[in-house]
Amino acid sequence: MTFLPQQLVFGLLVGSLYGLAAAGLSLIFGVLKILNVAHGELIMLGGYASFWLFALLGVDPFLSLLLTLPIMLVVGFFLYHGLFAFVAASAEEARIRNSLLIGFGLALAFQNLAILLWTADERGITTAYSGQVIRALGLAFPIMRLGGLAAAFLVILGLHWFLHRTYQGKAIRATAEDWEAASLMGINIDKTYRVAFALGVATAGMAGTLVTIGYSVSPAIGLEWTLKALIVVVLAGMGNMIGTFVAGLLLGVAESTSSILLGGAYREVVGLILFLGVLLVRPQGLFGR
């Protein structure tokens, strides 16, 4: 009787990571019209950064979120200026094509860098409270993953607040709607692109930290997480961070319940079916305008 509710709990826990992972991709694509297929590798780098902080300095993985944020912000600024600035300056119809070429090369470079630095073995963070669970209503709630859900939700709330309550956040939203009109209103488009790209990279890095806390990270996880993020972005639509988080939860629940009804072999297929179904029925996404 408790097996299905327990699977729903696990679906919500992993779905929170899907939502956070997709938020950065949605922000970058929505503002810059750039599709960064190396997004999963940025998640991987964030995970390895937290692993190093824990292994070398003993920093608690949840505290390492506060250090991962500035580290990945800097990485995002360098990536934008070094690789993506000229893509953002090109015509919109050429941005996706050029960003795909750069993203594939960047993904290969990051994978080989990770193998060089950390080998191909899976890495994870094990703390003194890693195996502890909270039991309520006959269900088990792993403390690490429950903390990951709470942290992901707080990051999404912070991003939502930034985009709606600060001048720079409003500039990002205006640029996403119409960059030419935003430019006429005095908004610095290049600065806005730079900030949006760095925020997207930082959000991916923080998602990587939470992946390392509850699961494991390896150089090969990039493609899987890029696909998950793409599916969630299509489910949610553009311009709604809260909606993106909810769409991640929906994907996590759909995968966990499908493994019961159809078997674990069909877990990944369910996400692709949702992806195609939303594209056909509601191309703007469940929460898109």
Domain ranges of the chain: 3-121+129-281
Contact, 139 vs 5, CB < 8 A? yes
> What's the CATH architecture for 3-121+129-281?
Orthogonal Bundle (1.10)
- Angstrom distances, CA of residue 79 to CA of 36, 42, 99, 107, 250: 11, 11, 12, 12, 32
* Cα of 267 vs its chain's centroid, Å: 20
Look over the chain and give the mean of its residue pLDDT values, rounded to a whole number.
Answer: 88
Q: Compute the average pLDDT of residues 20-27.
A: 93
pLDDT digits (tens, 9 = 90+) for 262-275: 666 667 788 788 88
Start-end of H helices in 33-84? 39-57, 64-79
Q: Compute the average pLDDT of residues 115-142.
A: 84
Q: How far apart are CA 90 and CA 188, in angstroms?
A: 16
pLDDT digits (tens, 9 = 90+) for 51-99: 999 988 889 889 999 999 999 999 999 999 998 988 888 887 788 888 9
More confident residue, 80 or 238: 80
**β-sheet bridge partners, residue 133:** 142
pLDDT digits (tens, 9 = 90+) for 5-14: 888 888 899 9
The answer to which of 2-6, 35-39, 45-49 has the lowest mean pLDDT is 2-6
CA atoms in the 13 A half-sphere facing the CB of 237: 13
Q: How far apart are CA 8 and CA 96, in angstroms?
A: 36
Prediction pTM value: 0.91
